[in-house]
Amino acid sequence: MSETAKEEICAFHYHNKSTVQCATCGLPICDLEEGATAEGKQICTICFNSPKASKFRKYIQIGTLLVTLPSVILIFTLVPSENSYQLWAFLALIPLMIGLLIGGNRLLTNMAYKGLGKNQMILPLIRYFEASGNDQFYKIFLKNLKKLSDEELEEIREPLFDYLVPAILFNYSRLSDNWQEDLLKYLKIDEIALAKTFAEDFRTLLINIAVHDAKADLSKFIFYLGEITGNDEIIVDYIKAIASKDIKNLEDDQLKKDYDMLLEELFLYEEIFYSVCDRLNLPKEKEALAALLKRYEPPPVPKSAMDAIKIQRDQVLQMQRQGLVSSKEDFELTDEKEAETDKTTEES
């Protein structure tokens, strides 16, 4: 696998190299997609089908409205209001409306992916998720992934990772907590193999995103990869990239603008970064990380109940100075909470 291979592979016919990009969505496609054209432009099958599905969506909405409104009128007109009969009639109407919406959405999905096998839908869905961050594309991808046989999965495995890994990294903060478990199950690989794919085959991409387009908890994921693979090189490369002169020499305003999320990761997991630097003998990098943290202004988020009470008291003091609150009444609740916290602290 390579970090650039996905640009050369047709998203629908993964055995073929792409010859052009879809004029609408930009997916790489091959000559087999030439039949799907609009206004003389070469487009993919999904973009060719989508206008029909969008048009049909209006019919579904109108049909749902034509069913719902007469039903409501009939309920008010024919169903007695005594003994909650109308209420029960409305409750019975809800499953019908939900069924129409679910059935309509499934029909639209089938129309959009008409003519495509489940393995041909895999790569486009990943690319759509990467580009939009819409987890619905990822959920549909997983549904199709688990339907693949062992033979189909093995055939598509290499281009699958070329598409999947960047999509995961660019949308890491949008993934569910059990995303790894799902992939291990449906890709039929073990934890170490998946970790090596990220840490070795896509290391450069991973570090670039983690440093220059940081996502929440992506730093912890890198530390986990180093631990599970027994290879500290990815952690060393990551820390050295953070401690590079290009970042260290930035002005404060530019640093905050471009690397605020990265600095927040450093702030939240400061002890982990420092302990890793000590373990891997990176004293200069540790010093550089500390210097970066001194330039970071964390948001005033309470770290404990006592901090929350102190912030609340400071806010009330400020309001009192401005004449917005009285002195005694507004402090009573705060003082009681502070006393309770002190008592709890002493008992513990």
pLDDT digits over 137-155, tens only? 898 899 889 888 888 888 8
Average pLDDT over residues 311-325: 57
Q: Quick one: how far is CA 226 from the chain centroid?
A: 22
Pick from 76-80, 123-127, 309-313, 338-342 the range whose average pLDDT is largest: 123-127
Q: Are residues 290 and 314 in the same domain?
A: no
Between these two residues, 306 and 119, which has the higher pLDDT value? Answer: 119
167 in a structural domain: no
Low-confidence winner among 20-24, 39-43, 157-161, 294-298 (lowest mean pLDDT)? 39-43
The answer as to whether 37 is a domain residue is no
What's residue 334's pLDDT? 44
Distance CA 127, CA 25 (A): 10
- Is the Cβ–Cβ distance between 319 and 325 less than 8 Å? yes
* Strand positions, DSSP E, the chain: 20-21, 28-29, 37-38, 41-42
Is 144 within a domain?
A: no
In a domain, 216, yes or no: yes
Query: How many whole angstroms separate alpha carbon 126 and alpha carbon 23?
Result: 18
Domain shared by 288 and 316, yes or no:
no
Q: Among 224, 226, 246, 245, which Cα is nearest to 236's?
A: 226
pLDDT of residue 59: 66
Confidence of residue 60 (pLDDT cuts 50, 70, 90): low
Judge if 261 and 343 occupy the same domain: no
Task: Match 């073990």 to its residue by tokens.
Answer: 190
Co-location of 288 and 313 in the same domain: no
- The reply to whether 330 and 258 lie within a common domain is no
Q: Does 235 fall in a domain?
A: yes
The reply to whether 318 and 279 lie within a common domain is no
Residue 193 CA to residue 21 CA, distance in Å, equals 32
pLDDT at 347 (0 to 100) = 54
In this structure, what are the phi and psi dihedrals at residue 9, rounded to the nearest 5 degrees?
-105, 135
The residue from 71, 91, 112 where one domain ends is 112
Most distant CA atoms of the chain, gap in Å: 81
Q: Are residues 67 and 106 in the same domain?
A: yes
**Final residue of a structural domain among 85, 112, 139:** 112
Same domain for 253 and 316, yes or no, is no
Mean predicted confidence (pLDDT) in 291-303: 79
Q: Do 243 and 272 have their domain in common? A: yes
**313 and 248 in a common domain:** no
Q: Is residue 300 part of a domain?
A: no
Q: Is residue 318 part of a domain?
A: yes
How would residue 225 be classed by pLDDT, with cut points 50, 70 and 90?
A: very high
* Residue where the block lists tokens 């987890």: 135
Question: Are both 279 and 251 inside the same structural domain?
Answer: yes
Higher pLDDT, 270 or 59: 270
pLDDT value, residue 29: 87
Category of 123 on φ-ψ map: left (φ > 0), alpha (ψ -120 to 50) or beta: alpha
Tally of domains within the chain: 3
Range of the domain at 267: 190-294
Do 149 and 192 meet the contact criterion of CB atoms below 8 Å apart?
no
> Which residue among 88, 112, 136 closes a domain?
112
Is position 240 within any domain?
Answer: yes
pLDDT score, position 324: 47
Amino acid sitting at position 256? K
- Residues 216, 288, single domain; the answer is yes
